[in-house]
DNA sequence: CGTAGCCTGTGGTCTGACCACAGGAGGACG
DNA sequence: CGTCCTCCTGTGGTCAGACCACAGGCTACG
């Protein structure tokens, strides 16, 4: 068919085609995209242009590609927002498009919203949260392992709140500053003490949520996060 | 040089190289990337793989490419987070990775944070906001023009609050649902009435901000947004 | 000295050719 | 007749080479 030819951007043609198919419902989660060669022929562009577009979709977490044949091979639509969000935020931080303090602040805002939503909702299911809390009690954890669980905990909270955009964004923000967080952990003199403190704060936050005490939960989560970032030297002061 | 060769992912090699150069400071905003051919040779990968990586960076708003020669040609590092954010969110919404209601809810959370920050900060500069407000008073505006100004207004507010992550995310969220918003405007019976209402609400919100009345500003902005989305039929009820 | 033209380097694209891989189809064998 | 093995096919992954259009600097000419 070879659409009338978009000026200058063959790969954009491909991107638009996919996006339209997604919007029109012709493509949905789980579906397989046409093969690269087919798309190339259909749109009248080179296969390399098709690949550039697919690469974008892949990095953004929209598709997954695999080689071979069969129903699982090829490019398949998956909606994995976290991955794309993380990649985007990480790169933007690296390119100094996003100052660290803004990332941290935003995390505060979202975490606030999460605990507020959870506190207000008596139906929430914090099973996962509790199991992570328990896992964090092990005293053999390295700081890296502990921080990984910490990430899981906050992720579980966000997930329990049920907003996918917020969950993905928070996960992305966390990933974006992960290297700084880990690096910051090394700057903390007595890690054991910090770990105990974090454990206690986590328990307190969850308790406040379960008691439905919105303002208390918000206060606790705020001091929890700013406290750690300050101790790790990631943000100037308590701002 | 041709690094030890990463298995299976030539383009990832390129992406990592760029990211590392950004993190190490070897690359920064305004700098020019090596030419595609140079990168290809340096990393021992094909030029197509380099292009796939650059395409990702371009869509994510990290670089800008131009043809020709001279200092302005080639791939240049720019940190334009809004563009990338918008593309990502739009595609995720299209792929049903993000439900519309989650997008709207998130916008509420962020907008809340914005007006809260502005209300609490006596130093804020709302010059731009006021000029947009005035522009919106013209009664010859089509609904499309009005909505565009509306977007500018909210963007200006976010920008005045000073958090780049929140600003970019809000802009992205807005873009992601733009088509739905415009479509929804058509469903509104008496547009004139709605426009007047929106104008009044905007003025009220800004007034509350300038009076430093945090809670009032938050309340107003919440009802402003949910009100419109409900009227436009974008979200089921008042939540 | 000025200007018009060439020259070079850049991204943008296409073509064609391999490779590795996974799965299915078909045949060979028990 | 059933089972296993093999080949064949289609997929993404990659590379190499070839053009093109373009923008800017350089050079030779007027």
- For B74-105, the pLDDT digits (tens) are 999 999 999 999 999 999 999 999 999 999 99
Q: What is the pLDDT of residue A120?
A: 93
Give which of A46, A40, A41, A43 is closest to A20, Cα–Cα.
A43
Model confidence pLDDT, tens digit, residues A69-105: 989 999 999 999 999 999 999 999 999 999 999 999 9
What pLDDT is attached to residue A2? 41
From its phi and psi, is residue A78 left (phi > 0), alpha (psi between -120 and 50) or beta?
A: beta
How far apart, in whole angstroms, are the C-alpha atoms of residue A56 and residue B182? 27
Q: For B57-128, where are the E strands, in sequence order?
A: 63-66, 74-77
Inter-residue contact A186 to A180 (CB < 8 Å): no
Separation CA A87–CA B176 (nearest Å): 18
At residue B5, does pLDDT exceed 80?
A: no
What's the longest Cα–Cα distance across chain A? Answer: 67
Partner B contacted by A52 (CB < 8 A): yes
Is A84 touching B (CB cutoff 8 A)? yes
Contact A19, A33 (CB under 8 A): no
**Helix H segments across chain A?**
10-24, 36-43, 47-59, 81-94, 100-120, 127-135, 143-161, 164-176, 178-185, 191-210, 214-231
- Shortest CA distance to B88 belongs to which of A215, A92, A206? A92
CB within 8 Å: A99 and B164: yes
* pLDDT at residue A236 tops 70: no
Q: In which band, very low, low, confident or very high, does the pLDDT at A163 lie, cut at 50, 70 and 90?
A: very high
Task: Locate A193 and state its tokens.
Answer: 């003490």
Contacts of B61 in chain A (CB under 8 A): 92, 97
Give yes or no for residue B239 having a pLDDT over 50: no
- List Cβ neighbours of B235 (8 Å cut-off, separation of 6 or more): B100, B101, B104, B226, B229
The per-residue pLDDT for range B41-87, each reduced to its tens digit, is 999 999 999 999 999 999 999 999 999 998 999 999 999 999 999 99
Per-residue pLDDT at A1: 45
Who among B29, B81, B91 is closest to A60 (CB)? B91
Angle between the A100-120 and A81-94 helix axes, to the nearest 10 degrees? 150
Q: What is the pTM of this model?
A: 0.92
Residues A171, A82: Cα–Cα separation, whole Å? 6
The pLDDT value recorded for residue B7 is 67
What percent of chain A has pLDDT above 70? Answer: 95
User: What band does A6 get if pLDDT is binned at 50, 70 and 90?
Assistant: low
Alpha-carbon radius of gyration of chain A: 22
Residues of A in contact with B118 (CB under 8 A): none
Q: For D9, which residue's CA is nearest its C1'?
A: A69
Phi first, then psi: give them for residue A74, nearest 5 degrees: 90, -165
């Amino acid at each position: 068919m070879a659409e009338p030819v978009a000026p200058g951007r063959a790969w954009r043609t491909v991107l638009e085609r996919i996006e339209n198919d997604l919007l029109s419902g012709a493509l949905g989660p789980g579906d397989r995209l046409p093969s690269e060669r087919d798309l190339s022929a259909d749109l009248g562009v080179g296969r390399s242009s098709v690949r550039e577009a697919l690469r974008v979709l892949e990095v953004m977490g929209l598709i997954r590609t695999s080689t071979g044949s069969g129903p699982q091979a090829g490019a398949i639509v998956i909606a994995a927002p976290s991955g794309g969000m993380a990649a985007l935020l990480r790169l933007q931080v690296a390119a100094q498009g996003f100052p660290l303090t803004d990332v941290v602040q935003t995390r505060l805002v979202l975490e606030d919203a999460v605990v507020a939503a959870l506190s207000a909702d008596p139906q929430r299911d914090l099973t996962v949260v509790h199991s992570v809390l328990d896992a964090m009690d092990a005293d053999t954890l390295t700081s890296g392992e502990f921080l990984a669980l910490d990430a899981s905990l906050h992720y579980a909270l966000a997930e329990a709140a049920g907003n996918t955009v917020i969950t993905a964004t928070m996960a992305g923000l966390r990933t974006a500053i992960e290297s700084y967080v880990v690096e910051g952990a090394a700057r903390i003199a007595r890690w054991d003490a910090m770990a105990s403190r974090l454990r206690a704060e986590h328990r307190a936050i969850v308790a406040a949520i379960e008691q439905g005490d919105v303002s208390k939960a918000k206060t606790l989560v705020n001091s929890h996060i700013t406290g750690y970032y300050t101790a790790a030297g990631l943000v100037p002061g308590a701002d």
